[in-house]
Amino acid sequence: MGRLGLYGLTGPDHTHQLGLAKPTKRVHGDPGPEAGHSVSSPLSSRRRREETEGTLTEPERSQAETMAGKAAAASAAATAARWAEGYPWREKLAKYKGELGKGVWGYWELGAWKPLGISARKRARLRKEVLLAGEDWTYDPPRGEMRTKRKGHKCDRISAEKRANTVELMKKMPQMLLDYKKRRWEKKMKEEDSGKS
């Protein structure tokens, strides 16, 4: 059933009455939907192709996983054979000597920060192997002096300052009392003089 629109009834049943039906475009030789072929969108045909081509049967999947596992095992075996006598730290040190001398994390070049050409993990592994071999590792930055003085709590520092200030004031206390008595006496004398006149 159509719906009431601006020009009267519109919808799938009434579009031909208003002359709004779109003519279907046919390719030469295509029989069209009348011949029993359904019109499908490109999305549905792509989904159908993925469903038919993208699925692997269980034996095919297990064979693919086995091949991937064999390739990984062969790579690991080659690496293990290369490192059978130990981690080749001498070769790595010679290779990355220039990069290691530039800094630990990177360096500034023409106003831009450049990271090192060796990752931090590989640098740490190389450093560990060199130190285990008993060689010197000179590429670390100089370590700063450790702070031995503890900061403590602010209330303790303030109370210590107050106690020191109190000791200094107690030394001045006799002079302060004499000054106070003198001021009192002068004030009393002024009041008496003003009372007499």
For residues 116 and 79, the answer to whether their CB atoms sit within 8 Å is no
Q: How confident is the model at residue 110 (pLDDT cuts 50, 70, 90)?
A: very high
**pLDDT exceeds cutoff 90 at 50:** no
Question: Helical H runs in the chain?
Answer: 15-18, 42-53, 58-82, 89-95, 97-100, 120-132, 154-196
| pLDDT score recorded for residue 158 | 93
Neighbour count for residue 107 (Cβ, 10 Å): 14
Q: Which residues contact 53 (CB under 8 A, 6 or more apart)?
A: none
pLDDT reading at 174 higher than 90: yes
Percentage of the chain beyond pLDDT 70 is: 64
Residues 6-41 have pLDDT tens digits of 555 555 555 545 555 555 555 555 555 555 555 555
Both tokens of 83, joined, read 């490192």
pTM: predicted TM-score of the whole model, two decimal places: 0.36
**Mean pLDDT confidence for 45-64:** 63
Among candidates 102, 81, 87, 82, which has minimal Cα distance to 135? 87
Task: Measure the CA–CA gap between 115 and 77, rounded to whole angstroms.
Answer: 32
Q: Which band of pLDDT confidence, cut at 50, 70 and 90, is reported for residue 165?
A: very high
